[in-house]
């Protein structure tokens, strides 16, 4: 069982019609709503790849939460969610002129997950615990994540952390966050080049047994006891990178758990990340041939 802890989000895409000189500002466009959230997306990709997946998180007591939890169930994910008065997290994507996308996040009640709400039985069968960085950067969810790590270690599970937000880590404080990582001692760290640049050269390799670097052009770099090596990207057209990193991490974890081979895990992660980036949305339907076992 692969477990993740974090946000289950309603993603809202606001896409105005293409800009035409003289066109009224209130011209019609489109609004699309889908399920999202870094941890939830990761869990969905794990399930699609044929592995057991469990999601832990807090949701609001609103209709959106009911739909999002039901969607996880349909995807084959076991949702361990706690409902609380308040709003379910949302992430609004506003497409601006020129194709630039403005993100407006509202984490709602997700950050209110408390340690005592994380049931020990949810980690008792865990082989892997995956935590996106935002689950460590706010309270009380950060302390809930720490309890999940403790329970995962007791179950002899591996722990991975995805450093997927340079701005959040920068605002939190790189030095302060390094202390958090040292206390967790993750087996695997995922990071983009932008995030890696925030830390002293080589330090990510010292914070985890394996560091996985997602390269800008779509390839990957690995640092472990065998040294550092890089793997090239897939030659697919990139349309939307929004969900590619979650898919990448899911494929890497599922493959490594099955093979114990970081190189093979990286190759499959690159393939899935590229296929997801070649489609619109965070959880598009893609061909899993050559990736899923």
Q: Does 288 map to a domain? A: no
- pLDDT tens track for 175-209: 999 999 999 999 999 999 999 999 987 788 889 99
Residue 196: inside a domain: yes
CATH number (domain holding residue 87): 3.40.1190.20
Angle at alpha carbon of residue 184, lines to 178 and 190, rounded to 5°: 70
Instruction: Give the residue numbers spanning the domain of 243.
Output: 2-16+28-277
Q: Is residue 291 part of a domain?
A: no
Whether 293 is covered by a domain: the verdict is no
> pLDDT tens for residues 123-156?
999 999 999 999 999 999 999 999 999 999 999 9
Inter-residue contact 113 to 138 (CB < 8 Å): no
Distance, in Å, from the CA atom of 197 to the CA atom of 192, rounded to the nearest integer, reads 9
Q: pLDDT, tens digit, for every residue of 206-224?
A: 899 999 999 988 899 999 9
Percentage of residues in the chain having pLDDT higher than 70: 94
Tens digits of per-residue pLDDT, 62-75?
888 999 999 999 99
Q: Encode pLDDT of 90-113 as tens digits.
A: 888 677 766 667 778 888 899 999
User: How confident is the model at residue 19, as a pLDDT?
Assistant: 54
Mean pLDDT score across all residues of the chain: 90
The residues near 35 (Cβ < 8 Å, ≥ 6 apart) are: 8, 9, 10, 11, 44, 67, 68, 71, 72, 283
pTM: 0.91
């Amino acid at each position: 069982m692969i477990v993740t802890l974090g946000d289950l989000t309603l993603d809202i895409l606001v896409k105005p019609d293409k800009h035409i000189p003289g066109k009224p500002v209130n011209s019609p466009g489109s609004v699309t709503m889908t399920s999202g959230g870094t941890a939830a997306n990761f869990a969905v990709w794990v399930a699609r790849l044929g592995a057991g997946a469990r999601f832990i998180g807090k949701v609001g007591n609103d209709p959106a939460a009911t739909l999002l939890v039901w969607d996880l169930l349909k995807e084959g994910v076991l949702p361990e969610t706690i409902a609380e008065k308040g709003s379910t997290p949302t992430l609004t994507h506003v497409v601006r002129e020129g194709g630039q996308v403005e993100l407006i996040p509202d984490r709602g009640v997700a950050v209110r997950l408390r340690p005592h709400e994380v049931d020990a039985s949810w980690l008792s069968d865990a082989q892997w615990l995956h935590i996106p960085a935002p689950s460590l950067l706010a309270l009380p969810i950060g302390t809930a994540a720490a309890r999940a790590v403790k329970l995962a270690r007791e179950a002899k599970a591996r722990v991975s952390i995805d450093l997927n937000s340079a701005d959040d880590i920068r605002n939190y404080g790189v030095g302060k966050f390094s202390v958090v990582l040292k206390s967790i001692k993750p087996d695997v760290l995922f990071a983009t080049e932008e995030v890696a640049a925030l830390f002293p050269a080589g330090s990510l390799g010292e914070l985890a047994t394996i560091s996985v670097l997602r390269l800008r052009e779509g390839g990957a770099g690995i640092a472990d006891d065998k040294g550092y090596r890089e793997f090239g990207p897939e030659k697919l057209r990139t349309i939307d990178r929004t969900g590619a990193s979650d898919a990448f991490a899911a494929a890497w974890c599922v493959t490594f758990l099955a093979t114990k081979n970081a190189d093979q895990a990286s190759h499959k992660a690159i393939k899935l990340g590229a296929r997801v980036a070649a489609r619109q949305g965070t959880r598009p339907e893609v061909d899993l041939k050559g990736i899923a076992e």
